[in-house]
Each structure stands twice: as C-alpha cells, then as structure tokens.
Chains A and B, each alone.
Chain A
Amino acid sequence: MPAPETATAEAAEEEKPAVEMVDVQIDGAWHQVPKGTRMIEAVRMARGDGSTVPHYCYHPKLTSPGNCRMCLVQMGMPPRPAPGAQAAAPDADGHLPISWMPRPVIACANTVAPNMGIRTDGELVEEVRQGVMEFLLINHPLDCPICDQAGECSLQEFSVEYGKGSSRFREAKVKKPKNVDVGPRIRLDDERCIMCSRCIRFSREIADEDVLGFVDRGSRTVLATYPGKELAHNYSLNTVDLCPVGALTSNDFRFRQRVWFLKETESVCTGCGRGCNIQVEAREGEVLRLTPRENNDVNSSWMCDHGRMTYHELHVADRLTDHMIKEGGRHQVARRGEAVRYAAALLKVFKPGEVAIVASGRMTNEELYLTRKLAAVLEAKLVDIIPREAEADDYLFAADQNPNTQGARLLLCGRSKPGNKLAKIRKGIAAGEIKAVLSLGEELTDERVGLAAEDLAGLSFLLHLGTVMGVTAEAAQVLFAGSFPMEKRGSMINVTGRLQRLGGGGIAPGACADDWEVLRDLIAELGGGNGIYLLEELFSEMAREVSKLKGLSLGKIGSQGMHLIDSKECVPLLRKEAERRASGLIP
C-alpha cells in the first residue's frame, strides 16, 4: 500500500523539529547556518566550493581534538554594553555591530553563535598561520623527493601558501624512528608526523581497535603502536588516506608511482556486495591504487583493505589476452568477429533446452541484461549465477561477495534464488540433456557449480568468456578474452539496492573486449540483431524494457548512485556514524 506509507513519511517530516538557523558574518558577508555548526563547516557552507580554513587534525567524520592549531581564525561577537551604557542598535537587517577579539580561536572545535563574526583572512590570521607552519616545519625532514605523500600533502600545500622560503631554525633537528613497520600493510615515518592524531582517532572511534597512541613528550613525541599490538585491522589503510603528511604510507603503493601521474576515475569497488564508492587511480591504464570516495549513503569516507587490494586481480599471471577457437584440439588465436561467427554457427544446432548459461554476479547490469536476451534467443531455460557468501563484519564488508547479486536478481534470475538452478545444470550435464554450456565470467569447476574437467570434456559445446586461463577456458571450444570490472564501464546494484556506476580506469591488455560487446555480437549473429554501439544506448534500451529502471539513463545515475530497490540490508558503519553524530561526538 504505497499511499499511506508516503503519508506517514510526510507526517514524520513535519514532526521533526526545524533546525534553528543563526546569522553569522563570514568574511564580511552574512550567512544563515544551522545552530551548533562548527565554525570550520560554517566557512565551508559559506564558500560553497568545498574549500574551508586550512587544517590538519580536523576531519568531519572524527572528533575534534583541536591540536594542530592550523585552523585559527579571528572571531568577533557584539560587544556587551558597559553598565549603564546603551546597547548598540541593530542595523537595517537586524545585525549588531561586531567587536573583534584580539586573539584567534580554532575554527574546528568552536560552534557558531548568533551574530558571530568570522574572519578567515587578514593580517592576524595570516600571521598565525605562518607561525604554526614555521613550528610544524622545525623538525620536519626534507624528505619530499622520496616521500609518497608528495603531491597530495597538506603540509606541502600550506607551506607553499604560508611557509617561509628558508628556515630560521639553526639547531639540530630531532631524530626519530623512520621506516617503522606498524602493521602488515603500513609503514610509519615518525619524523614526518605532525601529531594531528587522525589515525589514532580513526582506529579508536571507527575501527574500534585502539592500537595507536602518542608516547614521550614535547618535540620528542612519537606515534607508536601499543606494545605487542600492530595496526592490522581490515580498515587500517584508511589511516594512510587520513594522514595529512607522509608519516603513514601504504606498503602496497610504496614507491610505485608519484601521485601527480595518476589519473583518477570514479568507480565502485567490486570486492564485496557493499559497492563502496572509489577512485580508480591509474597511470597510462595501469591501475596502481584504489582510494575511497565520499558517499554518505554507502561507505561514508572509508573502504576496507580487502577492497583496496582487489586491483591485484589485474596482475594475474595467465591473463587471457586473445580470443581463441579450438581447432583440432588446440586453441588458435582468432579475431572477435571470427570467433563470434564460429560460436554462433555451432550454437544454432542445439534444440531449446539443450543449452545452459552460467553467468556471474560480478557482471554489470548491462551484461546481465544481454545475457537474458542471449538466453531468450537460444531458448535456454537454465540460466543462473554462482552465489558467494562470506562472514560480514560490523562495518562495511558485506556477506554477499558478489558485487551485483541484486542486479542479477532483477535482470537475470527472475523469481528463482541465485544459485538454485546450478544443481539442475549439473544433473542435466551428467544425464546428457544439456549439451552446450556458456560460461560467462565464471570457472565451472568451482565447487559451488561442482563440475569436473571430465564433465566439461563430455559437452558438445562450451563457450567461455573470461579473464584468466583455467580449466573451463582450457576446455572451451570458443574462448573470449574479457575485462575485469576495473577495466569496464557499466552499472551495478549493491546489497542495499543502490544503483551505481562503474567508471573503468584500467585499460585491458591485448585484444581483450568489453564483455557486453561480445554478448551483443553473439546475439546479433544468432538472429536477434540490434544496432547498439554505445553502452549508453544499451542502458537506455534496458531502461525501456525493465520496469524498475524506467526513465533512467547512465548519466542520470550520477556519481553518487541512486536508491533503486528496497532490501533489508543496512550499513553497520553508517549506523554507528549516526549514533556518534546523535551523541554530539562529531558535527
């Protein structure tokens, strides 16, 4: 019953107390911001371009200890009249005159008040920033040529803006431990650390593993792990992203490439069903790292280490780089057109019901849609994907290990549960009723399918569209070299039912094709001709045919995705974040 539901939703919205807005003067102009906003966020709202006051220790998703002092700004309030004196009269807009405080305040831990004034520039503010920078740089080593953070380092950026060209410090710099292993994936350089404590707060507040802390005092303070413990939780690499300097660096990305060479592509992680928003960072098509992208409906600002390492699948030793046809028991390299014609000629022989398709939950919506069309052309009844399950954690990692199970449910499996038809396929092959199998992106000897190499050899026809050489690829009569998710564009639906876009980023080697193009060519060759040349056209066609996607296009999904299906899944990490926000720990 949709009508009453919307009615209650509206009622709930009305009941919600309206957020009280206060007038704040920021850099000379008056703005309305919600009461209780931190000054640093108020400045961000006022500027409207995403920028705010320079800062190191502040992070909107963490508590504010206010220890870096970089965000100092000048603050003012209406003056309190002397006893017996008349209070100043408000101006035409109702604003009182502001009396500026002679000393600066930190913008990250102070909240706005009515009629408050904030100055983010001016003589005093510039001067304190220069002072803070000079202190921070006293003991900072001149490591920039070998530091992985160079190019995305806040200290570098702000020292260009507020630093002195030369140092006035004549004493010897404090020596601290360098190149320390603090965990299996992270290296620490204590000399570079500016004591912002972001990594400590992340581990304590978000990853719930309080392993980091400061020891010793004054200029000899160092970041260290608790004795006998290490920074090894599955979210540890977020501390590397958080680190405003190069103190924490990733072992995986260490010295691989300078960041200014990397091209960033917005995409979605395919390590599990969560679909964390990521940036695929690649140089000349070679993917070198994955970093999280903020999406407050999916992954906040974080992603797990498991997901970050998924790009190593691109480095498999026996990657398929050519399409192949088996002639006389040996695979011969063929062009895509040749292989498609060869496969279609062989497939036309089979009667309806003799062909089964094993697709993958790692395929994009577009590929799954084409798989359904291919099944219709071949009149194949048995079409399924391989379900993958693992133990979920209490943060982001989802139990469903296929990135697009929801897409497969919507576009391919219909009402049957994914994986339900695999047993039937297995039995059909054993009984000889199924004579041809199309394996799309999956290894058929996987235990969840349960086929052996002999079963595959007994088939009259086997087509494999995949990325890696394996038993199925070896047995296939026609072999198409496909792409990994990091190399293709498309859309997927995550476990919470959110439709999101993959942006590619990597470039597939050799003659590897986009999987959807192979499927399109096969359908066209088998008689279901169509004139689709662009992924956008394919999505539009899919949107016309599938009622859930009505009116959508690849462009309309947007970089942050959109809610499509109501599933019972929720994101534990976001729940915890909302709890922290409700308790006032974070703004």
Chain B
Amino acid sequence: MATVTVQRPKLSLAEKLFLPGVLKGLAITLGHALRMLRGQKKVTMQYPEERWDANLPEHYRGAPALVTDEHGRERCVSCQLCEFICPPRAITIVPEEIPGDDQWAKVEKQPKAFEIDMIRCIYCGMCEEVCPEQAIFLRKDYAITGTLP
C-alpha cells in the first residue's frame, strides 16, 4: 500500500496565536446579530404559522389522492395495479361492479373501498406511475398528521 507523506503547513506567527481568527469569527457573528436587530435578515421560519409551500418543486411527492375526470366520475376502475406495485403494501382495494342502472354502467368496475394506510405510505409515487387510468396522483400535501380541533 502506497503511503503519501504530507508535510505540515508552516504557520505564521499570527496563525500560531489563533487570535486574529477568533476575532474574525466574532466580527461575522456580530454582523449577523446587528443585521437581525435592524430587521434586515430572517433566520428562523415560524412553522406552522409560516410555510414554504409556494416554493415546493413541481415534482414534490406528498400524500396520494384519487381524482375525478371532467364529468365528475372517480377515474379509478380498481384494477389493483397500485395495490400490487405498492412497496410497503399500503393500498387495499375492494372492487365492485357498477350497477346496471348507473350512468357509468359501461365502465363496469369501480372501487367499493380504496384505502391507503398513510402510516405505511412511503410517498414513492409508484402508484401514480403504474396507474393505467391516471386516477391517482401524489399531491403536494406534506402535513397530513391530524391536529386537535
């Protein structure tokens, strides 16, 4: 194994004393403190009163949700591909037949129950990718834990 010998850098007297470095640091800290006192700079975002929502990137993956089409019909036909692909097995679908007198009877199949266990969901977006009907999308919601009323 090859060894590389590194020479210690030669330090000047000022560097050996450390004092100029300490003073430089103090000056930076003081500068920040003064600018904050003058109201020129914000350091902490006051979440949840303040949020960064406007700056979320286009591809942000939050909570998954089922969507409706332009006629207001829920697009999902319960093909169960998302249930199959879901890595943490968060999705459970109970399919059912659309009754013959329904206006969407020709679609034949719909979910009777579509459950996503949000404790299991890992926000991977596989369900959105696999859906042949474009019925499930990951929204930009990230704060989905319940709060007390």
Interface residues, chain A, CB within 8 Å of chain B?
144-146, 150, 178-179, 254-258, 260-261
Q: Which residues of A contact B10 (CB under 8 A)?
A: none
Chain A interface mostly helix, strand, loop or mixed? loop
Complex partner residue of B84 from A145, A179, A254, A258, CB under 8 angstroms: A258
Question: Are A261 and B95 neighbours in the complex by a CB distance under 8 Å?
Answer: no
Q: Could you list 6 A-B pairs, sorted by A, with CB under 8 Å?
A: A145-B133, A179-B108, A255-B97, A258-B79, A260-B84, A261-B80
CA of A107 to CA of B46, assembled, Å? 75
Q: Which residues of A contact B107 (CB under 8 A)?
A: 146
Question: Are B84 and A261 neighbours in the complex by a CB distance under 8 Å?
Answer: yes
CB within 8 Å for A145 and B95 given contacts A179-B108, A258-B80, A261-B80:
no
CA of A178 to CA of B105, assembled, Å? 11
Smallest beta-carbon distance B92→chain A, Å: 10
Question: Are A255 and B84 neighbours in the complex by a CB distance under 8 Å?
Answer: no
CA of A146 to CA of B111, assembled, Å? 11
Q: Which residues of A contact B97 (CB under 8 A)?
A: 254-255
Smallest beta-carbon distance B103→chain A, Å: 15
CB within 8 Å for A146 and B108 given contacts A255-B96, A255-B97, A256-B95:
yes
Question: Are A145 and B108 neighbours in the complex by a CB distance under 8 Å?
Answer: no
Question: Are A144 and B84 neighbours in the complex by a CB distance under 8 Å?
Answer: no
CA of A145 to CA of B132, assembled, Å? 7
CA of A144 to CA of B133, assembled, Å? 11
Smallest beta-carbon distance B117→chain A, Å: 15
Question: Quick check: is B24 within 8 A (CB to CB) of the other chain?
Answer: no
Closest 4 CB pairs of A and B: A145-B79, A146-B109, A255-B95, A258-B80
Q: Which residues of B contact A256 (CB under 8 A)?
A: 95
Question: Quick check: is B86 within 8 A (CB to CB) of the other chain?
Answer: no
Q: Which residue of A lies closest to B80 (CB)?
A: A258
Q: Which residues of B contact A258 (CB under 8 A)?
A: 79-80, 84
Q: How many residues of B contact A (CB 8 A)?
A: 17
Q: Which residue of B lies closest to A256 (CB)?
A: B95
Q: Which residues of B contact A150 (CB under 8 A)?
A: 79
CA of A150 to CA of B79, assembled, Å? 9
The digit string for B89-110, where 1 denotes a CB below 8 A from any CB of A, is 0000001110000000111110
CA of A145 to CA of B106, assembled, Å? 14
Q: Which of B53-71 contact A (CB under 8 A)?
A: none
CA of A146 to CA of B83, assembled, Å? 14
Question: Quick check: is B77 within 8 A (CB to CB) of the other chain?
Answer: yes
Q: Which of B27-86 contact A (CB under 8 A)?
A: 77-81, 83-84
Smallest beta-carbon distance B69→chain A, Å: 14
Among A144, A146, A178, A254, find the residue whose CB has the most chain B CB atoms closer than 10 A.
Answer: A146
Smallest beta-carbon distance B8→chain A, Å: 65
Smallest beta-carbon distance B64→chain A, Å: 18
CA of A150 to CA of B95, assembled, Å? 15
CA of A260 to CA of B80, assembled, Å? 10
Kindly list 6 other residue pairs between chains A and B, CB separation below 8 angstroms, not including A144-B79, A145-B81, A255-B97: A146-B77, A146-B108, A179-B105, A257-B80, A261-B83, A261-B84
CA of A179 to CA of B84, assembled, Å? 26
Q: Which residue of A lies closest to B96 (CB)?
A: A255
CA of A261 to CA of B95, assembled, Å? 13
Smallest beta-carbon distance A147→chain B, Å: 9
Smallest beta-carbon distance A152→chain B, Å: 14
CA of A30 to CA of B143, assembled, Å? 69
CA of A76 to CA of B139, assembled, Å? 61
Q: Which residues of B contact A257 (CB under 8 A)?
A: 80, 95
Complex partner residue of A255 from B106, B109, B133, CB under 8 angstroms: B109
Q: Which residues of B contact A145 (CB under 8 A)?
A: 77, 79, 81, 132-133
CA of A178 to CA of B98, assembled, Å? 14
CA of A261 to CA of B82, assembled, Å? 12
Smallest beta-carbon distance A140→chain B, Å: 15
Q: Which residues of A contact B108 (CB under 8 A)?
A: 146, 178-179, 255
Smallest beta-carbon distance B86→chain A, Å: 12
CA of A254 to CA of B95, assembled, Å? 10
Q: Which of B115-149 contact A (CB under 8 A)?
A: 132-133
Q: Which residues of B contact A255 (CB under 8 A)?
A: 78, 95-97, 108-109
Q: Which residues of A contact B96 (CB under 8 A)?
A: 255
CA of A258 to CA of B108, assembled, Å? 15
CA of A146 to CA of B77, assembled, Å? 7
Q: Which residues of B contact A178 (CB under 8 A)?
A: 106, 108
Smallest beta-carbon distance A499→chain B, Å: 38
Smallest beta-carbon distance A177→chain B, Å: 12
Smallest beta-carbon distance B99→chain A, Å: 12
Smallest beta-carbon distance A298→chain B, Å: 34
CA of A179 to CA of B109, assembled, Å? 11
Q: Which residue of B lies closest to A251 (CB)?
A: B97
Smallest beta-carbon distance A587→chain B, Å: 38
CA of A145 to CA of B110, assembled, Å? 11
CA of A150 to CA of B77, assembled, Å? 14
Q: Which residues of A contact B80 (CB under 8 A)?
A: 257-258, 261
CA of A260 to CA of B84, assembled, Å? 9
Q: Which residue of B lies closest to A189 (CB)?
A: B108
Smallest beta-carbon distance A253→chain B, Å: 11
CA of A258 to CA of B91, assembled, Å? 14
Q: Which residues of A contact B132 (CB under 8 A)?
A: 144-145
CA of A562 to CA of B96, assembled, Å? 42
CA of A256 to CA of B97, assembled, Å? 9
Smallest beta-carbon distance A314→chain B, Å: 18
Smallest beta-carbon distance A543→chain B, Å: 42
Q: Which residues of A contact B78 (CB under 8 A)?
A: 255
Q: Which residue of B lies closest to A255 (CB)?
A: B95
Q: Which residues of A contact B95 (CB under 8 A)?
A: 255-257
Q: Which residue of B lies closest to A179 (CB)?
A: B108
Q: Which residues of A contact B81 (CB under 8 A)?
A: 145
